[in-house]
């Protein structure tokens, strides 16, 4: 497993230097999804030293089109770190990223543990464990990746924690159970201009289907969601690349809105 640790350190060094994205050296590149997640584990352990413990998860590649783009057959998961989860309105510096990208999502906060022995989890089962939902803007860093080459680098995306660098969270909504989450509108704005619209059903048919996927993914790896964990469930709007001076907002219907300024 020495190559797993070396790959994790290689990724950590690239992010620390904000160096332009390039493929992992062949000797370190994962050749299976299991190895990619092993690298992710080691990489996130290194990140935890600066960014705090893992307090949640993300799902990426929730559509067939996105999976085709990176050459994978399923969605992938990543980890969220405590110091990279902030409450909106928030501000980040573009200079702190190789290339900042953002996504517009629904976040779920767990009110109870979901032990892996309960898998496979249905949407209804995970819904019973959710004590609040909120709008979220995911922060990610693709380090200027060449998207034309991603079809050969999907496993590296999983190893690289699906590019996550945190999220900006709106105010938690405890009374979410009367909301039609599949029909929930999502509107993304940059500097007041609408740059994308979607609905909850655009994420695997329902945002809580994505949460169930994460719960089942973790159970398959001998882990589980815990009380207080936050899961961001996939973007309702295509990714955007904000620039310094931009002000972003994401309005998620009855769940409210969240704001981010980029300096």
Q: What is the pLDDT of residues 15-56, one digit of tens each?
A: 999 999 999 999 999 999 999 999 999 999 999 999 999 999
| pTM for this prediction | 0.97
Is residue 12 included in any domain, yes or no?
A: no
Beta bridge partners of 199: 185
pLDDT tens digits for 163-176?
Answer: 999 999 999 999 99
Token pair 């699906």: residue? 162
Which domain does 149 fall in, by range? Answer: 53-262
Helix, strand or coil, per DSSP, at residue 65:
helix
Give how far Cα 193 sits from Cα of 55, 122, 196, 208, 249, Å: 33, 37, 9, 29, 10
What share of the chain in percent tops pLDDT 90? 96
Both tokens of residue 53? Answer: 């413990």
Domain CATH code at residue 172:
3.90.850.10
Contacts 24+ apart (CB under 8 A), 64-72: 68/151, 69/147, 69/150, 69/151, 70/150, 70/151, 70/153, 70/154, 70/157, 71/150, 71/151, 71/152, 71/153, 71/154, 72/33, 72/154, 72/155, 72/157, 72/158
Is residue 24 included in any domain, yes or no?
A: no
Is residue 65 included in any domain, yes or no?
A: yes
* Rounded mean pLDDT, 217-225: 97
pLDDT band at 1 (very low <50, low <70, confident <90, very high): low
Is residue 9 included in any domain, yes or no?
A: no
Number of structural domains the chain divides into: 1
Instruction: Report how far residue 184's alpha carbon sits from residue 212's, in angstroms, rounded to the nearest whole number.
Output: 18
Is residue 85 included in any domain, yes or no?
A: yes
Is residue 36 included in any domain, yes or no?
A: no
Is residue 44 included in any domain, yes or no?
A: no
pLDDT tens digits for 143-202?
Answer: 999 999 989 999 999 999 999 999 999 999 999 999 999 999 999 999 999 999 999 999
Farthest-apart Cα atoms in the chain, separation = 52
Is residue 253 included in any domain, yes or no?
A: yes
- Cα angle at 85 between 107 and 155, to 5 degrees? 75
Within 10 angstroms of residue 136's Cβ, the number of other Cβ atoms is 29
């Amino acid at each position: 497993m020495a190559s797993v640790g070396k790959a994790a350190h290689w990724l950590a060094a690239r992010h620390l230097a904000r160096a332009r994205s390039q493929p992992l050296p062949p000797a370190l590149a994962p050749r299976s999804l299991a190895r990619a997640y092993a690298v992710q584990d080691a990489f996130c352990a290194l990140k935890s030293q600066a960014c705090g413990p893992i307090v949640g998860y993300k799902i990426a590649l929730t559509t067939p089109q996105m999976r085709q783009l990176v050459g994978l057959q399923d969605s992938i998961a990543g980890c969220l770190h405590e110091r990279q989860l902030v409450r909106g309105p928030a501000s980040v510096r573009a200079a702190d990223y190789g290339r900042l990208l953002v996504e517009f999502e629904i976040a779920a906060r767990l009110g109870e543990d979901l032990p892996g022995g309960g898998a496979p989890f249905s949407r209804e089962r995970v819904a019973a464990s959710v004590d609040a939902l909120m709008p979220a803007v995911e922060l990610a860093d693709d380090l200027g990746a060449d998207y034309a080459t991603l079809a050969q680098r999907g496993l590296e995306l999983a190893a690289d924690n699906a590019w996550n660098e945190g999220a900006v969270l709106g105010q938690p909504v405890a009374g979410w159970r009367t909301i039609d989450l599949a029909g929930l509108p999502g509107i993304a704005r940059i500097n007041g201009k609408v740059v994308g619209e979607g609905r909850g059903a655009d994420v695997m048919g329902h945002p809580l289907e994505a949460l169930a996927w994460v719960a089942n993914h973790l159970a398959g790896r001998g882990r589980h969601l815990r009380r207080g964990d936050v899961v961001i469930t996939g973007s309702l709007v295509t990714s955007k690349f904000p620039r310094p001076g931009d002000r972003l907002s994401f309005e998620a219907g009855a769940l409210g809105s969240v704001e981010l300024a980029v300096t």
